[in-house]
Chain A
């Protein structure tokens, strides 16, 4: 049973204090759970070392199969063939599903995967199930991730011969704070404590900062500032960061990201090879799953070969009477994925603009992630950054996890006699955080790309005469209207003194500490006094649970304009 596999910790586990204050700090390990592949690394006292599983793999497939009584993941499980993952018994791509509601287009795209993803399109968590002995057995992305993390933890504990508790995980830039809580939840279920959740390109930036510092040590040169653009694209997500580095300090100037990656490219190509394929597999019959698996493997193989060849032949028998025998050229591939490449381009442009770093002032352009082998991706990055060469001294598949291990060592308080850990990442917020005000507008209080830790505040006022209460709806995102953003939580400020509209002042202050915890303070302030009218509210966010799609709608319906309707509904 799954319950025997992991110990479920309490919810407060995810919000615990920083680290234990023992004399010998436990070095946190770095984990990169990618949509497709996963790796673990640790600072071994002199350098970063990637851990290997019993089959000598540094990169392990991210999946959990439920085909046996005890679920097993890609760390321990020996695959007889790729198709085993595609039989419906295994759940993969959990990073694309975690913390998303069933109205999310990414969840809808996941319906074409061999396991079951069911949506009701009302803003709740999707139903996910694996095929076990001819029945769909339900699970959740958190549970799948937790089972996988338990395996990773066991593997690391065996190799390092010590218990593992603290971890630094890499995450996509575009993850909302709600998604981060789901990752923390999965870690807590696996008995792991998250020291940091590090956006993937910022982990790469830290590794780059270390490399630059070592070069300086060798050359005895002065620590002049170097700007680098990091483009990371894996199977699930695309992230961009601009960092300014000198003397081991990596200052993140800007971040940009989207849920776009190799999975989208694969789906587009499957669609290209077999038009209407998405409808063909929606019923999830046994034979259809088998055909889908065959098509997926053949398409994946073709995409890989297209990185080195200008055209490839795809020859696959789908078993249901339909055969695909086609020559695919690189031009066709690029045309079928034009939108993906355009999105990549716009993310880089946006990140550069936000960073206020001129293209000419970029010292290095770093390309990492599984998609970095695609020639078109390389050309897009080179094209936007106007350069011929990319930074070579970094392993595109291991950079993020190595950076996470460095951060793990630094955040655990480890120092190195040779100065290899004299490092610091000054992070920036990837998404804006604000509240609903001015009708339905999203008013950011901490804008995107604000340096962390951060504390910012804004004053608001009432819109009605004698209004004594105000509803504070906290959102995260970039949209100008609240609907385009993620709801993080809500609360009410009460005790506003009766006054004409526009007179009372409500101060809303937001605080993000270095470990990225968000607190919102709100209260009524009076001109000319330092004392607040009533006690302030301090709220740790996010507070919303799974049905956050519903929350926003319910609040809107309830408080929109008519009050009477509200109370009756709520009193029930």
Chain B
């Protein structure tokens, strides 16, 4: 796709700056050269795995859900997600991918890992599921999930209410996963928070 190829050409372009040192080319009238760190921007950038405008990271602009990246159903268990991640890693990881496509698979692997990281963490997954649902409803063009899962999601969301608290979100997940896993996830979430 366009985004990926432009990125590739960008990173493989020869740069005159490699190994150069700035000291000699410094103009006398340069203002103090320092940058400061803007927390609000950063948190926004870090929190979302979704689209970022004017970014070097050209990954998820092709609209597909993290579930599709991993090739699993929305109701997949944690084990299924892990298994799917490993299976795809064995294809996409640059160490095992075919020679010529290394550059491309690196970004596909990064995308795969981001999807895995979000969906294997129960709290992040619940957050993601909500944004996915909300976006789907607002844009009236839901991601190409099956009608059945979309309905399940909607039902679960409604049952959970809109307060957005973790406890409710567990309930939304409950319809897709077995209670055993839910309990273990719950305990992990407590440790993490």
Chain A residues at the B interface, C-beta cutoff of 8 Å? 18-19, 21, 225, 246-249, 251, 356, 358, 410-411, 413, 422, 424-426, 435, 437-439, 441, 443, 451, 453-464, 466-472, 490-492, 502, 505-507, 509, 511, 513-515, 519, 521, 525-530, 532, 536-540, 543, 559, 561, 563, 566-567, 570-571
Contact = CB atoms under 8 A, between A and B. Distances in A.
Given A455-B107, A457-B56, A559 B34 contact: yes
Given A424-B93, A491-B17, A457 B36 contact: no
Contact of B21 (A247, A543, A567): A543
Interface residues of B, number: 54
A456 B107 CA distance: 12
A561 B106 CA distance: 41
B141 interface: no
10 contacts: A251-B86, A459-B45, A461-B36, A468-B31, A470-B33, A505-B54, A536-B10, A539-B17, A566-B26, A571-B28
Interface string B30-44: 111111111001100
Contacts of A532: 54
B94 A538 contact: no
Nearest to B100: A21
Contacts of B33: 467, 469-471, 492, 559
Nearest to A510: B56
A540 B87 CA distance: 32
A454 to B, nearest CB: 6
A225 B42 contact: no
B73 to A, nearest CB: 20
A470 B17 contact: no
B177 interface: no
Contacts of A490: 21-22
B121 to A, nearest CB: 9
B54 A514 contact: no
Contact of A453 (B55, B106, B191): B106
A526 B24 CA distance: 29
A532 B10 CA distance: 12
A538 B13 contact: yes
B30 A539 contact: no
A492 B24 CA distance: 12
Contact of A538 (B17, B28, B41, B188): B17
B57 A457 contact: yes
A424 B192 CA distance: 28
Given A437-B37, A491-B17, A538-B11, A570 B93 contact: no
A566 B27 CA distance: 10
Given A441-B37, A521-B56, A513 B86 contact: no
B28 A247 contact: no
B146 interface: no
Nearest to B98: A413
Given A246-B82, A458-B42, A567-B26, A513 B94 contact: yes
Contacts of A443: 37
B110 interface: yes
A424 B90 contact: yes
B181 to A, nearest CB: 14
Contacts, number: 183
Contact of B109 (A248, A453, A525): A453
Contacts of A469: 30-31, 33
Nearest to A501: B36
A318 to B, nearest CB: 50
B86 A519 contact: no
Given A459-B45, A460-B36, A469-B33, A246 B54 contact: no
B102 A18 contact: yes
Contacts of A413: 99
B36 A527 contact: no
Contact of B36 (A425, A463, A540): A463
B168 to A, nearest CB: 24
B31 A466 contact: yes
Contacts of B188: 356
Nearest to B22: A492
A426 B22 contact: no
Contact of B11 (A464, A511, A530): A511
A537 B57 CA distance: 15
Given A543-B21, A570-B23, A571-B28, A424 B96 contact: yes
Contacts of B34: 462-464, 467, 470-471, 559
Contacts of A491: 17, 20, 22
Contacts of A528: 53
Contacts of A468: 30-31
B106 A540 contact: no
Contacts of B56: 455, 457, 507, 509, 511, 521, 536
B18 interface: yes
A565 to B, nearest CB: 11
A509 B110 CA distance: 14
Q: Which 8 A-B pairs have the closest CB atoms?
A: A514-B94, A509-B56, A471-B33, A437-B37, A438-B37, A463-B36, A525-B54, A567-B28
Contacts of B11: 511, 519, 521, 538
B186 to A, nearest CB: 14
A88 B131 CA distance: 67
Nearest to A502: B38
B138 interface: no
Given A424-B90, A424-B95, A451-B113, A438 B36 contact: yes
Nearest to A441: B37
A334 to B, nearest CB: 33
A570 B18 contact: no
A469 B25 CA distance: 13
